[in-house]
Amino acid sequence: MKEHLIAGFLMTLLSCSIAAQVDIKATMGVNMVSMPGLRDYLNVNYARSNQLSVFSTAVYFSGEADYQFEKMQIGIDLSSETNSYNFDQGAGQYTLSYSFLQPNLMLYHFIQGEGYKFRFGAGVGPRFLSVSETDPYIITSETNYKTTGFGIIGRIDASTAVSKSVFAYLGGDIGFNYLGVPSSGNKKLQAPMQPDGVKFTGFFVGLRLGILYSITL
Amino acid sequence: MSILEAILLGLVQGISEFLPISSTAHLTLTGRMLNVIDAGKPEEWTAFIAVIQLGTLLSILVYFYKDLVNILTAFFTEVIGKRTKFSLLSENSKLGWLIISGSIPIAVIGLGLKKIIEGTLTKNLWVIGTSLIVLAVILAIAEKTAKFKKEMKDITIKDAILIGAAQSMALIPGSSRSGTTITGGLFCGLKRETAARFSFLLSIPAVFASGLLELKESIKFMNHDLMTAMIIATVVSGISGYIAIDFLLKFLKKNTTFAFIIYRIVIGIVILSLLYTNIIQK
């Protein structure tokens, strides 16, 4: 009985791995980001004549590897979002730039046919934020802040074959990132109007263009 | 408009132009969220939309390059040159006539309602949100009642005019040009992939004419920054549009349009909810 169970398990594993695929994907795109804490900080302190709107755009790069089984895919996605703001302050230029590193564990349901794949899914993961600020009125050198947090992401994407294994990729993301206040040693990123510090917590929507390579195992 | 905003709007246009989900709705919503639509100058935004449509038009021309060469060659040889009777025409020449006859309704209605189309109605999110939902319901009815039998060779002039009339319904913002024509095609008994293919071919004269007309009229609104943004958005929309066409034609061979119907209803409800709660303005 035990032998039969082991044999059955091995056969299932073998049949899964025969049908399995690994997809490797590289994309780039643009995020539409709303971070109220950051927007208030910049609008009150620096963007006096050129107020920022609710959403701003940020560059986004991503690499992902997904393992396919049955009608599902599980994957590791490593994304990076970068943005910068510049304002003339009379004494010089104020600059704030940030970069998010966003690894995600993703789970998808997919529909696959002749020459196409259509997926939708969600993921979750930690967030690593680094912020660089140069304020000509306070300090002349750059200050770097860091913080961490977590985020969730929902994704819908479509890929169409350009050759047997290579697909052109279009995708859309929606997500939420919860982050602490960035700090540099004991110094927090803060302003008189935000004594508790500037939070980078926010919501985003983004579109991606990329390439996907599919390997059948 | 920044370069990143232009890239994003180009992506939105390319993806949403060919999928039956309304490019106008997505562009207007994105434009409102990014605050790039000047309420005092709605014609600038209309011009921007029309010009970046030329990028997606280019993607159709590239994608259907061989089909278009065959249609034009056959049409000029048989119809213009030999004056062959309709019943004796080759399939490609007939397709030429189908595209011409299918383009008549939108030409008449589009020119007649030009002022309304260019005005504030095309940016009204109440109209856009409602028509996203209404057209989704009509597309769902078409999916449930259609016969899915006809291929390209079976399309008649009557079908083409009916699908063309459906295309003119796309002048209502949020209804989606590909959405209305695919719906019209399904009601006429076309297979899903055939309806989508004919929809794309039928879009060429309409998008080309409206794009050029708007380009001519928008030159007076253009400054260096807007021109740069338009060029970037047009190129991006062309690339993403090509991928979207290829995906949709493959997808509709085996699948229904219900994924798009659900999406339209969800995004319509989201827009109406955002308006109702005053998070975004109409």
Task: Decide if B34 and A57 are in contact by the 8 Å CB cutoff.
Answer: yes
Residues of chain B with Cβ-Cβ distance to A32 below 8 Å are 8, 30, 33-34
Q: How confident is the model at residue A13 (pLDDT cuts 50, 70, 90)?
A: very low
Rounded Cα–Cα distance for residues A114 and B252 (Å): 11
- The yes-or-no verdict on residue A73 having pLDDT over 80 is yes
Tokens of A160: 């169409």
Handedness of CA B135, B141, B144, B150 (dihedral sign): negative
* pLDDT for residue B245: 93
The letter for the amino acid at A139 is: I
Query: A211 and chain B: CB distance < 8 Å anywhere?
Result: no
How do residues A147-171 score in pLDDT, each as one tens digit?
Answer: 999 999 999 999 999 998 999 999 9
- Which residue among B2, B240, B251 sits closest to A116, beta carbon to beta carbon? B251
Return the SS3 of B10: helix
How do residues B106-133 score in pLDDT, each as one tens digit?
Answer: 888 877 776 666 565 666 788 889 999 9
Asked if residue A209 lies in contact with residue A61, where contact means CB atoms within 8 angstroms, the answer is no
Tell me the domain boundaries of chain A.
Answer: 21-216
Residues of chain B with Cβ-Cβ distance to A30 below 8 Å are 4-5, 7-8, 11
Return the SS3 of B222: coil
Length, in residues, of chain A: 217
Query: B267 and chain A: CB distance < 8 Å anywhere?
Result: no
- The yes-or-no verdict on residue A194 having pLDDT over 80 is no
* pLDDT for residue B14: 92
* pLDDT for residue B89: 83
User: Which residue of B3, B11, B18, B36 to mutate against A (max A Cβ within 10 Å)?
Assistant: B11
* pLDDT for residue A139: 64
* pLDDT for residue A5: 58
* pLDDT for residue B84: 81
How much of chain A, in percent, has pLDDT values that exceed 90? 51
CA distance B107 to chain A (A): 32
What does the pLDDT average to over B216-237?
A: 80
Handedness of CA B257, B260, B262, B264 (dihedral sign): negative
How much of chain B, in percent, has pLDDT values that exceed 90? 44
Classified by CATH at the fold level, domain A21-216 comes out as Porin (2.40.160)
What does the pLDDT average to over A44-52?
A: 78
Q: How confident is the model at residue A7 (pLDDT cuts 50, 70, 90)?
A: low
* pLDDT for residue B229: 84
CA distance A130 to chain B (A): 21
What does the pLDDT average to over B158-162?
A: 93
Tell me the domain boundaries of chain B.
Answer: 3-276
* pLDDT for residue B51: 81
Separation in Å, CA B149 to CA B154, B193, B222, B260: 9, 11, 48, 21
Query: B247 and chain A: CB distance < 8 Å anywhere?
Result: yes
Number of A:B CB contacts under 8 A? 71
- The yes-or-no verdict on residue B52 having pLDDT over 70 is yes
* pLDDT for residue B209: 85
* pLDDT for residue A26: 96
What does the pLDDT average to over B187-199?
A: 93
Residues of chain A with Cβ-Cβ distance to B35 below 8 Å are 53-55
Separation in Å, CA A83 to CA A53, A74, A78, B10: 15, 29, 17, 19
Task: Decide if B251 and A53 are in contact by the 8 Å CB cutoff.
Answer: no
Residues of chain A with Cβ-Cβ distance to B246 below 8 Å are 160, 168
Q: Residue A177 gets which letter from DSSP?
A: E
How much of chain A, in percent, has pLDDT values that exceed 70? 90
Q: How confident is the model at residue A1 (pLDDT cuts 50, 70, 90)?
A: low
* pLDDT for residue B123: 66
What does the pLDDT average to over B54-68?
A: 92
Give the residue, B219 or A69, on which the prediction is more confident.
A69
Mean pLDDT (chain B) is 86
* pLDDT for residue A127: 94
Which residues, including other chains, have CB under 8 Å from residue B188's CB and lie 6 or more apart? B150, B155, B159, B162, B163
E strand or H helix at B248: helix B224-254
- Which residue among A53, A172, A209 sits closest to B35, beta carbon to beta carbon? A53
Asked if residue B51 lies in contact with residue B211, where contact means CB atoms within 8 angstroms, the answer is yes
Task: Decide if A168 and B243 are in contact by the 8 Å CB cutoff.
Answer: yes
Residues of chain A with Cβ-Cβ distance to B15 below 8 Å are 170, 172, 207
* pLDDT for residue B98: 93
Tokens of A27: 């994309």
Query: A57 and chain B: CB distance < 8 Å anywhere?
Result: yes
E strand or H helix at A127: strand A116-134
Mean pLDDT (chain A) is 86
Residues of chain A with Cβ-Cβ distance to B4 below 8 Å are 30, 57-59
Chain centroid to Cα B119, Å, comes to 19
Nearest chain B alpha carbon to A169: B243
